[in-house]
């Protein structure tokens, strides 16, 4: 039986945008074991002199994460940053209200900046616009970014940091549209506060970039009006608007689940439309871009989290154990950012270690790669350069929530400096392999370097500390002849087809 075929055209002149590397960002919140037992565990055999786990550092470096959002998340809306600086023995323990745990404050702003340097990353800092506001934000940015000679900059120097941290990207609060948020605000309330906070922060450091809070998901009843109202106030003062979205497969309908990246694409297009409506309304020449600073699969741990004892320290919260089908959807979500890289400039997989994360650890034990680690690592490694429009045709299917779902989901990136082209593709077909024909005639003199495949006959296969059941191989079947790549994409598979200039 002949394989069904899909076709794409990959042309170096069909450019979407130069890709901002920050779309491969991530997120560490003071939540569960993300910090304590994740990035920081002083008693661990692999801990360095500062208490950071070296095995985790190596895995994060393998992902090549350019920016990490911190310290929250829901947690930031009742967080006093002053609790986390200065001598550790003087730091207070606090009730952490978002997740109802005890925050020890052993790790704070300075320690996190130190850790980010160890993993070759920048910090994306969030300010508390829940219980606090303008004053706290101006003090924090003075502490972080002002050279010296003032109260808060000299306090940083007293704490052992002579040079400023120069944090350049700042979030004006977190999910302020959510009734669950400490200090939840209407769009009008939030917009006014965010604008005044932005103005003050820019007075302290005019070189920063600012992110205004958009809706915390496309399912919010106030979406997208909340975004529009917030932007009415903040448009001239900020650079980005935030988007958050998580997906799950609670109904165990894999065909429908793998189509959910189409929902993400629609979410992005709607927010772009909202931004551009406010741009037109204000007759502005400025364009607001998107910071998709929380995204992932999140549903496996929901029942388990209901059993956690309140007011414990660093309990195992939101510890989703990801399976193979989750990795396929994560691959499609990453490709969605590439296809929209003209407007999506920052994206943060939430989160990085232990909490809905690609990296898991045992307290005192091993660190290992979850299934979703691999598509993240591949796109971060080979998705640098220019995103290309892939003109495509594919057989399609209908699912419970989606119609005309292409079996082939694809994206392409051209790295001119390295003379490399990479085609990323997911075969969503659960029973059959598909043949992909990719017209790459504009890349004369190129050859196939590698065809990486992530596949598994068990959609529910997971990785553990002792078994890597889901991991990629480089035995993909593809040929390049007369400017056309012919590739066989296994059923339900993630594929990375790398082309390079013949030497």
By annotation, the residues acting in catalysis are: 175, 294
Distance CA 65, CA 43 (A): 26
- The token duo for 246 is 């998580």
437: Cβ contacts below 8 Å, ≥ 6 apart: 5, 6, 7, 8, 484, 485, 486
Percent of the chain that is helix, strand, coil (3-state, to 5): 30, 30, 45
Distance CA 452, CA 145 (A): 43
Q: Coil, strand, or helix at residue 502?
A: coil
Total residue count of the chain as it appears in this document: 503
Name the residue among 434, 440, 441, 436 with its Cα closest to residue 413.
Answer: 440
CA-CA distance, 414 to 503, in Å (whole number)? 17
**For residue 71, cis peptide bond before it (omega within 30 degrees of 0):** yes
CA distance 148 to 294: 34
Residues with Cβ within 8 Å of 394's Cβ and at least 6 positions away in sequence, in order, are 6, 7, 406, 407, 408, 434
144/148 Cα distance (integer angstroms): 10
Q: Are 35 and 314 in contact (CB under 8 A)?
A: yes
């Amino acid at each position: 039986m002949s394989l069904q075929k899909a076709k794409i055209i990959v042309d170096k002149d069909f450019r979407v945008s130069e890709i901002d590397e920050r779309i491969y960002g991530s997120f560490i919140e003071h939540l569960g074991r993300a910090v304590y037992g994740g990035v920081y565990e002083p008693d661990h055999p692999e801990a360095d002199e500062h208490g950071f786990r070296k095995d985790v550092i190596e895995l994060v470096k393998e992902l090549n994460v350019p920016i990490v959002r911190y310290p929250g998340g829901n947690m930031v809306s009742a967080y006093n940053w002053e609790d986390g600086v200065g001598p550790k023995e003087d730091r207070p323990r606090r009730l952490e209200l978002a997740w109802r745990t005890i925050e020890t404050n052993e790790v704070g702003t300075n320690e996190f900046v130190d850790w980010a340097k160890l993993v070759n990353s920048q910090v994306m800092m969030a300010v508390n616009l829940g219980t606090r506001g303008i004053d706290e934000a101006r003090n924090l940015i003075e502490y972080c970014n002002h050279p010296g000679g003032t109260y808060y900059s000299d306090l940083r120097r007293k704490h052992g940091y002579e040079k400023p941290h120069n944090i350049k990207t700042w979030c004006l609060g977190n999910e302020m549209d959510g009734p669950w948020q400490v200090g939840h605000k209407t769009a009008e309330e939030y917009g006014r506060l965010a604008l005044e906070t932005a103005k003050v922060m820019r007075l302290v450091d005019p070189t920063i970039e600012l992110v205004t809070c958009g809706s915390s998901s496309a399912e919010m009843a106030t979406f997208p009006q909340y975004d529009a109202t917030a932007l009415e106030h903040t448009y001239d003062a900020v650079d980005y608007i935030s988007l958050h979205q998580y997906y799950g497969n609670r109904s165990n309908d894999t065909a429908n689940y793998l189509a959910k990246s189409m929902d993400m694409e629609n979410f992005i297009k709607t927010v772009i439309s909202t931004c551009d409506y406010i741009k037109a309304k204000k007759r502005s020449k400025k364009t607001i871009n998107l910071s998709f600073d929380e995204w992932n699969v999140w549903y496996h741990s929901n029942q388990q989290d209901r059993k956690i004892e309140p007011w414990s320290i660093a309990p195992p919260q939101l510890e989703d154990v990801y399976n193979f089908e989750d990795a396929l959807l994560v691959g499609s979500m990453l490709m969605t950012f590439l296809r929209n890289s003209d407007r999506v400039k920052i994206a943060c997989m939430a989160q990085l270690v232990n909490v809905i994360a690609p990296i898991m650890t045992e307290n005192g034990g091993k660190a290992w790669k979850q299934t979703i680690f691999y598509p993240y690592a591949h796109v971060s490694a080979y998705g640098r350069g220019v995103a290309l429009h892939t003109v495509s045709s594919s057989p399609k299917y209908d699912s419970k929530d989606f119609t005309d779902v292409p079996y082939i989901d694809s994206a392409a990136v051209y790295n001119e400096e390295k003379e490399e082209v990479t085609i990323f593709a997911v075969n969503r077909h659960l029973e059959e392999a598909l043949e992909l024909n990719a017209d790459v005639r504009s890349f004369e003199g190129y050859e196939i370097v590698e065809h990486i495949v992530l596949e598994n006959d068990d959609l529910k296969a997971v990785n553990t500390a002792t078994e890597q059941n889901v991991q990629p191989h480089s035995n993909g079947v593809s040929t390049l002849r007369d400017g056309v790549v012919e590739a066989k994409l296994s059923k339900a598979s993630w594929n990375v087809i790398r082309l390079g200039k013949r030497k």
